[in-house]
Chain A
């Protein structure tokens, strides 16, 4: 039989917290991510959105595609605005409401990192989700510190392709002692939904790094978003795992190991990558995967 996703039909057909009519590009990974996240979270959720693609996707004033309370905040401030909202909801006695910061990679890895670090250090009881399309996509595909090496962006054009490795945001969060750090991907929707459902039982800062392919930015056809996300995990470029209080669990072990080359060849943005850089990436990916397996095997 087909490996069906463990998502009950009822959950997919119940009242929608995300409605159509939004302004995302065709095939947007971030839109699919929000749809699935809300399926796990439910209606007692507040969404905090800094400047990012979702600022636009959500619709123009005075309309909104989400049926949960949403607040737009300045670019750098997702984590701390969420902290303020958390304090207010606690004051009002609504401690079960999940306050979720939903930020892009720019607003997390770069400009939002300070506020995120502050919130994590205070172990604020918020959920911080970085939906990572690996560049400043909303402003037209400029590189961020989440852009992987070898990728084309408008600020890493041919001749100046990005060389620096992608910041390891998971390690950064772990350095803060964050009680729950996880990765998730739109290609593994049941894992994603389960993780979002699960956050309610964890107190303190929860961080989810979510891979969100972007067709225009990654130079893929709109129909390939989920497939490319899956390839990222199959190539161990984006492993799916979670760390709760230091204990590692690898959630998805790919049945077949895809060469990083195959993953990159499926996207136009990696067309300029040199052989040396590709080998270096494959190396790094392999070592990190081995380390991850070791960590998850440890008692």
Chain B
């Protein structure tokens, strides 16, 4: 049923529809309304789940490690510092092969305290072994929760879905909220092969020596790669039930594009407008929306971006000493190609600063006007000597 709901509420619906049984959460802006809505749902009985009101995010993740190990579908949500605090346990969850879904509201990292949209938080967790999705709309957020469980429970790896603070979390959009019976068709109950069971006692997470650890990690690596095969199947099934499609990337007007934009999150919506305008002006510009980030869909990216002359990556994140994370990953994905496009890495929108279609147009024009590849990122809209619409170079 179509409703006008905020992104956080979309998450709550997704959790309810997925018949999650154990939730743990610790409040942090701008995730709080997820937690509040889930509390109400549990209290009213709309959602039959245990809600553990933990005393920190580290504990929030540890609690669901416990419940998932006991074979029960589990969920938590956080943002920014909460995610960072969970870091140790994020590694643990993935290493323990637990199919937990975590909703992360992309928020900037302090100091200074900043509660607005920024993707540094989830990107800094890219080594933890979690499957990572970036969502562009509230519909996508809701659907990603449900798809997330299906995928996670098939490959036994946790799924982190990220979406922008306030732009999605607190912004209302039209969302088709499915019926729970429909979801039941798509998402069967969670019955893992191995779980804590007094009838079949086993030990989970035991100490591993140098003679065994390597292979354990290798198996995990192989299983992570399986996502690239399994996810398309999940998508097909999802499409069959709900009629919506979510590929690992979405190509927008990339036919014969000379310049392809790469974006993740709400910047994608803004960039579509810029692409349309550019095409209107006869420029061969396209857009690759980046949805699946881990595991790295290298072949797909190579296929989509390989034939373009120029690639413009917009990073709403910054890694000191490296630059934009998306850009860096795309560079390494394209490295094996004999003919590589020129890559322009733009930093924009940090800490919730607005990125407008004009900004994106400016970036497209910059790329169009320059041939030499830049090694350093281009800081779009930085307050400096020149005003506004420009790229600050180092």
Interface status of B321 (Cβ within 8 A of chain A): no
Interface core residue of A55, A67, A68, A80 (most chain B CB under 10 Å): A80
Interface status of B203 (Cβ within 8 A of chain A): yes
The docked-state distance in angstroms from the alpha carbon of A80 to that of B63 is 5
- Check if B55 sits within 8 Å of A121, measured CB to CB: yes
- Check if A71 sits within 8 Å of B58, measured CB to CB: no
Q: Which residues of A contact B197 (CB under 8 A)?
A: 69
A122 to chain B, nearest CB (A): 7
A30 to chain B, nearest CB (A): 16
- Check if B59 sits within 8 Å of A118, measured CB to CB: yes
- Check if A84 sits within 8 Å of B209, measured CB to CB: no
Interface status of A87 (Cβ within 8 A of chain B): yes
Closest to B72 in A: A88
Closest to A126 in B: B66
Q: Which residues of A contact B208 (CB under 8 A)?
A: 60-61
The docked-state distance in angstroms from the alpha carbon of A60 to that of B208 is 6
Q: Which residues of B contact A44 (CB under 8 A)?
A: 198
- Check if B201 sits within 8 Å of A66, measured CB to CB: yes
Segment 30-60 of B: residues with Cβ below 8 Å from A: 49-50, 52-56, 58-59
Interface string of B19-34 (1 = CB under 8 A from A): 0011010000000000
A220 to chain B, nearest CB (A): 26
- Check if B56 sits within 8 Å of A118, measured CB to CB: yes
- Check if B55 sits within 8 Å of A117, measured CB to CB: yes
- Check if A69 sits within 8 Å of B74, measured CB to CB: no
Interface status of A147 (Cβ within 8 A of chain B): no
Interface core residue of A72, A77, A88, A114 (most chain B CB under 10 Å): A88
Knowing A81-B66, A85-B67, A118-B56, say if A72 contacts B72 (CB, 8 Å). Answer: no
The docked-state distance in angstroms from the alpha carbon of A77 to that of B60 is 10
Contact of B62 among A46, A69, A73, A87 (CB under 8 A): A73
Interface of A is mostly: mixed
- Check if A114 sits within 8 Å of B69, measured CB to CB: no
The docked-state distance in angstroms from the alpha carbon of A178 to that of B74 is 27
- Check if B203 sits within 8 Å of A64, measured CB to CB: yes
Interface status of B222 (Cβ within 8 A of chain A): no
B3 to chain A, nearest CB (A): 28
Interface status of B65 (Cβ within 8 A of chain A): yes
Interface status of A298 (Cβ within 8 A of chain B): no
B169 to chain A, nearest CB (A): 25
- Check if A77 sits within 8 Å of B58, measured CB to CB: yes
B146 to chain A, nearest CB (A): 20
How many A-B contacts are there with CB distance less than 8 Å? 163
Interface residue total, chain B, C-beta cutoff 8 A: 41
Interface status of A90 (Cβ within 8 A of chain B): yes
Segment 201-215 of B: residues with Cβ below 8 Å from A: 201-209, 212
Knowing A44-B198, A46-B198, A77-B62, say if A60 contacts B206 (CB, 8 Å). Answer: yes
Q: Which residues of B contact A58 (CB under 8 A)?
A: 203, 206-207
The docked-state distance in angstroms from the alpha carbon of A43 to that of B198 is 7
Q: Which residues of A contact B67 (CB under 8 A)?
A: 84-85, 87-88, 91
Interface status of A92 (Cβ within 8 A of chain B): yes
Knowing A59-B206, A69-B202, A84-B66, say if A91 contacts B56 (CB, 8 Å). Answer: no
Interface status of A62 (Cβ within 8 A of chain B): yes
- Check if A72 sits within 8 Å of B205, measured CB to CB: yes
The docked-state distance in angstroms from the alpha carbon of A76 to that of B56 is 11
The docked-state distance in angstroms from the alpha carbon of A85 to that of B24 is 12
Q: Which residues of B contact A121 (CB under 8 A)?
A: 55
Q: Which residues of B contact A92 (CB under 8 A)?
A: 70-72
Contact of A118 among B54, B74, B89 (CB under 8 A): B54
- Check if B50 sits within 8 Å of A87, measured CB to CB: yes
Contacts beyond the supplied A61-B206, A77-B65, A122-B53: 9 A-B pairs with Cβ under 8 Å: A58-B206, A66-B201, A71-B66, A74-B62, A80-B55, A81-B62, A87-B67, A88-B70, A115-B59
- Residues of B that sit less than 8 Å from A by CB: 21-22, 24, 49-50, 52-56, 58-59, 62-72, 74, 88-89, 92, 196-198, 200-209, 212
- Residues of A that sit less than 8 Å from B by CB: 43-46, 48, 55-56, 58-64, 66-74, 76-77, 80-92, 94, 97, 114-115, 117-118, 121-122
